[in-house]
Structure 1
Amino acid sequence: MLRFTAMLTVSLLFAGVLVAQPNPSNLYLFDLAKENDQSYALTKPTFLTPVNPGGYNNQPQFASSELLLFSSGAISDSFQTDIYALNLAQNTITKITETAESEYSPTLMPDYFYFSAVRVEADPDQTQRLWQFPLDRLNNGKPVFPNIRNIGYHYWISRYKVLLYIVNSPNLLIIADTRDGSWEKVSSDVGRCFKRLPDGRVAFIQKESEDLWMLCALNTQDFTATGIVPVLAGVEDFVVLNDGSFLMGRGSRMYHFNPKAPEKGWVEIADLRDYGINAITRISTNGNGRLVLVSE
Structure 2
Amino acid sequence: LKYLNGFNPNGYNNQPKFFGYDEIYMTSAIDTSQITDIYHFDLKKTESYRVTNTEKISEFSPAPTPLLGSFTCVRIESDGVDQSLWKYPTDRSGQGTRLLPNLKNIGYYAWINKDTVALFLVGSPHKLAMANVKTNVVETIVESIGRCLKVDNDGNLYFVHKISTDNWVLKSYNIQDKSMSVICKMPSGKEDFDIMMNGTLVVGDGSMLKTFIPGKDIDWISIADFSLKGINNINRLSVVRDRIVFINNK
Aligned match of 2:230: 276
Q: Given the alignment, which residue of 45, 48, 58 partners 2:4?
A: 48
AA partner of residue 61 (structure 1): K
Q: Given the alignment, which residue of 210, 234, 238 partners 2:193?
A: 238
Gaps of at least 5 residues in structure 2 are none
AA partner of residue 244 (structure 2): L
Aligned-partner Cα distance in 2 for 1:192–1:163: 11
Tell me the TM-score normalised to structure 1 length. 0.81
3-state SS of paired residue (1:103): strand
The structural deviation recorded for 1:127 is 1.0
Q: Is 1:103 aligned with 2:59?
A: yes
Listed as ranges, the matches of 1:155-170 within 5 Å are 155-170=110-125
AA partner of residue 105 (structure 2): N
3-state SS of paired residue (1:63): strand
Aligned-partner Cα distance in 1 for 2:203–2:25: 20
Listed as ranges, the matches of 1:189-204 within 5 Å are 189-204=144-159
Aligned-partner Cα distance in 1 for 2:112–2:189: 26
Aligned-partner Cα distance in 2 for 1:180–1:226: 28
AA partner of residue 118 (structure 1): V
Aligned-partner Cα distance in 1 for 2:127–2:216: 32
Aligned-partner Cα distance in 2 for 1:129–1:198: 27
3-state SS of paired residue (1:193): strand
Q: Given the alignment, which residue of 227, 247, 250 partners 1:294?
A: 247
Q: Given the alignment, which residue of 68, 79, 88 partners 1:133?
A: 88
The structural deviation recorded for 1:180 is 1.6
**Is the radius of gyration larger for structure 1 or structure 2?**
1
The structural deviation recorded for 1:222 is 3.0
AA partner of residue 237 (structure 1): D
Aligned-partner Cα distance in 2 for 1:107–1:143: 15
AA partner of residue 295 (structure 1): N
Q: Given the alignment, which residue of 138, 141, 144 partners 1:186?
A: 141
3-state SS of paired residue (1:168): coil
Q: Given the alignment, which residue of 29, 50, 74 partners 1:73?
A: 29
3-state SS of paired residue (2:113): coil
The structural deviation recorded for 1:75 is 5.0
Q: Is 1:146 aligned with 2:96?
A: no
Aligned-partner Cα distance in 1 for 2:153–2:62: 22
Aligned match of 1:41: none
Listed as ranges, the matches of 1:219-234 within 5 Å are 219-234=174-189
Tell me the TM-score normalised to structure 2 length. 0.95
Aligned-partner Cα distance in 2 for 1:173–1:260: 25
AA partner of residue 157 (structure 1): I
- Amino-acid identity (%): 36
Aligned match of 2:210: 255
AA partner of residue 98 (structure 2): P
3-state SS of paired residue (1:158): coil
Aligned match of 1:212: 167
* Contact 2:110/2:151 (8 A) holds in 1: no
Gaps of at least 5 residues in structure 1 are 1-44
The structural deviation recorded for 1:62 is 1.1
Aligned match of 1:118: 74
Q: Is 1:61 aligned with 2:14?
A: no
Flag the 1:231–1:154 CA change in 2: closer, same or farther, 3 A.
same
3-state SS of paired residue (2:107): strand
AA partner of residue 65 (structure 2): M
Aligned-partner Cα distance in 1 for 2:122–2:195: 25
The structural deviation recorded for 1:261 is 2.4
